[in-house]
Copies of this chain bind each other. A is one copy, B any other.
Amino acid sequence: MRILIVEDEKKIADSLRKNFNDEGFDTKVCFDGSDALEVISKEKFDLILLDWRLPEITGVEVCKRIRNANNRTPVILLTALSNISNKVEALNCGADDYITKPFSFEEVLARVNALIRRYKFSQNMIEFEKMSLNLITHTLETETGSIKLPEMEFELLKYFLENQDRIVSREVLCEDVWKLKYTPTTNVVEVTVKNLRKKLEEYSSNKFIKSVYGEGYLFISN
């Protein structure tokens, strides 16, 4: 996950960056609004953390401009002020959430994760580990690239993601994914699992699809 931190107080910016990096996020920092807008127009982020008080352009203004450019990237505003009118202004400018300083990193992290998850869901994406499956385009998207899955591999992966941490037998897969009333005499399922595994391995060393001897498969992502 890639986060843009827009914060002019170097101490806070550094602390956020370090903490997010430790959590496995990819971060980028901007110290003022115009710099941020420039970066946002060129690069893609999963979330933008935006300080309210910034030199020149305010965070609220930056947020408005992001939305005017038809960019729906989740935005969280950070502010020292906690009165309600500010809160209203924050949400009116198109921000998705609002955190008042001083904050604990745990709070920021929780809100960031919740917002990213919510956004991906609304975008018809199911995320797992550092990848996500786009239900509309049928692409498997990662930080390093994306591939379009053929239909049966897509359907299988989608099914696994909807049934994580649960053993699914071949019979169930035949019925739910392949829509067969009878269990086939051949091993279509195994072959498709093999091909899907190969593609997943190209992007992660995680073994997502485990085999449970005599039972079926088990998809685990964390």
- Measured CB to CB, the residues of A under 8 A from B are 124, 135-136
Contact = CB atoms under 8 A, between A and B. Distances in A.
4 contacts: A124-B124, A124-B136, A135-B136, A136-B136
Q: How many copies does the complex hold?
A: 2
Nearest to A155: B137
A124 B124 CA distance: 9
A208 to B, nearest CB: 22
A136 B154 CA distance: 11
Q: Which 4 A-B pairs have the closest CB atoms?
A: A135-B136, A124-B124, A136-B136, A124-B136
A135 B135 CA distance: 9
A135 B124 CA distance: 10
A27 B135 CA distance: 33
Contacts of A136: 124, 135-136
A133 to B, nearest CB: 12
A18 to B, nearest CB: 39
A115 to B, nearest CB: 20
A166 to B, nearest CB: 19
A124 B136 CA distance: 9
